[in-house]
Structure 1
Amino acid sequence: MNYANILLVDDEEDIRNVLSIYLKNEGYEVSHASTGIEALELLQRMKADLVILDVMMPGMDGIETCMRIRETYEMPIIFLSAKSQDMDKIHGLMSGADDYMVKPFNPLELIARVKSQLRRYRAYQPNESQVLEVGNLRMEEETRQVFIGEQDVRLTPKEFDILALLVRNKGQVFSIEKIYEMVWGEPFYKSDNTVMVHITKIREKIEENPKKPLYIKTVWGVGYKV
């Protein structure tokens, strides 16, 4: 059986109840919130290992809630949404989510994605603190902290994993397909622009001028490198 605290945020009680049954059957502890405000208040009182967050909610929607969560917390966030266009997915990922599922969906697929996100989030447990450095950028893998000089930079779990992969292998060029398969652990689909969205967000956070990056460089027609 699995153990993790899952925060399930959706304004539809039926959805919360159904998903809660599936999650609890897998051994997870589940807390519920029906609004973004309620979710933020719960996070101040509980330790959540993963958040499942509906996009379309009254008042504070899922996008704003996700951005507020990312101001403080780094746990994986999975969006649920009836919006299926590519731009909707990009918007969700740009706001700080790690995955995006379109309603209606098979609850068993959600369970698989929850397990996958938790597994990768917890996978790196080094015995000693390892520090990765390039230029003015420093990454502490044990605490998953990133610094530009003395400035603390907050990255999502996936953003951290992508940057760590590139910094660990300085000078090596990684294709979009390779980055996706190594970080997400899933087969890459040709139409998927998830990696490019995450690279854009990382550059916005670590580069003085994202259009002229010093750290993550594009090798045209091949991929990315540090």
Structure 2
Amino acid sequence: MLNQVTISTFHTICHQLAERDLHLASVIRRYGYPPMWSRPNTFESLVHIILEQQVSLASALSVLNKLRERLTKITPKGVLELSDEELKACYFSRQKTAYVRYLAEAIINVNIDLKAFETMADDDVRAKLVSLKGIGNWTVDVYLMFVLQRADIFPAGDLAAVNAFKRLKGLPAAITREELIALAEQWRPNRSVATMILWHYYLSTPRK
């Protein structure tokens, strides 16, 4: 059975994590529950996540909105019909133009089946997606968390989550990725919700 978060279980899981972790409890006490971030299981959602790679969320949304203006409905066929110049006019970089085209072709050729992902194990979804150029573990982590609502993902490559983790728990700046992953084990089987609490903390507090 897949381990997923739902609207009806989200706050209960937040409480369970707060009972086990005083730092997460302090975030909920001070700032309230985090949003349960979610997106539909569509080509557009995966394009959006690709656009968010290594840029601000606002910048990525600006590019996505330009593409929406151009296509109205963002589909694999519609993207492939646009020229490189048309995508550039939507603020796509050369790299992200290529990545989104690879994804569109994979969906049209049925090498990637987004609907099938809904019943596949996390590791199987990851294996299929990272086989595509331009999709790495961070992109898959966000897709699993936001789109498929999988409950036990810790995105170790997400700077906001990592920085919030370090600041909230007073961890040394030089702590390794492996050490952070090991520390996040305390939140199993609900590391996704713990990460959402970290993001909530990050977005609610001024950066130093």
User: Given the two structures, how large is their TM-score scaled by the length of structure 2?
Assistant: 0.26
Question: Between Structure 1 and Structure 2, which shows a larger proportion of strand residues?
Answer: 1
Question: Between Structure 1 and Structure 2, which shows a larger proportion of helix residues?
Answer: 2
User: Given the two structures, how large is their TM-score scaled by the length of structure 1?
Assistant: 0.25
Higher relative contact order (CA 8 A, sep 6+): 2
